[in-house]
Amino acid sequence: MHTVWKGSLSLGLLNIGIRLYSAVEEKDIKFLSLHRECLAPIKYKKIAPDCTDTEVSDEDVVKAYEYAPHKYIIVEEKELDTLQKNMNLD
């Protein structure tokens, strides 16, 4: 565990070392969706119901922002990478 603070308490000639630790640690828990009977992982198909009911490949899927109902701005992976590189938390 990571020490948050170190110090000492002095009472006359007695010196006591003190360390403060965080009481909580963040842990991400990932749950899977399973079929209750056979415990097989559930898989999802990517389909575009307005165009076709066949499965869409990963290459044909893009990220987009909906700025008005049914109006989209497509954001390419290169643009997202550029944004992440330019972000500073200063």
Could you report the per-residue pLDDT of 13-53, keeping only the tens digit for each? 999 999 998 888 777 888 888 888 898 888 888 888 888 77
What is the tens place of the pLDDT at every residue in 2-11? 788 999 999 9
d(CA 57, CA 44): 12
Q: Which residues of 52-81 are buried (b: 16+ CB within 10 A; e: fewer)?
A: eeeeeeeeeeeeeeeeeeeeeeeeeeeeee
Residue 77, SS3 per DSSP: helix
The model's pTM: 0.44
d(CA 43, CA 41): 6
Distances (CA, A) of 47 to 51, 66, 77, 85: 9, 19, 21, 32
β-bridge pairing 14-21 and 47-48:
unpaired
Query: What pLDDT does 57 receive?
Result: 87
Q: How confident is the model at residue 88 (pLDDT cuts 50, 70, 90)?
A: low
Distance between first and last Cα of the chain: 26
